[in-house]
Amino acid sequence: MSGKDSFLLDEQKNIEKTVAMIEDLSSKTDLSKYEVIALGTLLQNLYTGIEGILRYQLQNRGVKLQKDENWHKDLLIKSRERGLVSDAQFEGLLELLLFRHMHIHGYGFMLNEKRLRQLAAPVPSLCQSFLSSL
């Protein structure tokens, strides 16, 4: 197995495990404040894993990304332009990117459970379609 295959398989497994945990938390009626924080962290982890795959795929295609303040969004745009993500996937991933930024620069106890549930709802189908295109 090549390094490429190993990286992508490892990331795919990590994303699948994270999706399962998101689904488990989302199935609960009431979340404790710690479970809300955990759900936020899992959503951030999920996006970070997908972003790592996209960055890897773009680099393998010779696409350069400038590490400026917009590089995360530029990565998504370039991924859509090169057919790595569909328009629908782009919209879902952009929502997760915006959340990721807020989560990193905010406090976990300030997370809104209703908003996290909205972000988590499309995650299983988004990830299934993304991973199946690898």
Q: What is the pLDDT along the chain (134 residues), one digit of tens a residue?
A: 666 689 999 999 999 999 999 999 999 999 999 999 999 999 999 999 999 999 999 999 999 998 899 999 999 999 999 999 999 999 999 999 999 989 999 999 999 999 999 999 999 999 999 999 98
- 81 C-beta neighbours (distance < 10 Å), count: 11
The pTM assigned to this predicted structure is 0.94
Q: For residues 84 and 55, what is the distance between their CA atoms, to the nearest angstrom?
A: 10
Q: For residues 93 and 103, what is the distance between their CA atoms, to the nearest angstrom?
A: 15
> What's residue 86's pLDDT?
97
- 94 C-beta neighbours (distance < 10 Å), count: 17
> What's residue 25's pLDDT?
98
Torsion sign over Cα 105, 107, 108, 114: negative
Q: Which domains does the chain have, with CATH numbers?
A: 3-132 (1.20.120.580)
> What's residue 132's pLDDT?
95
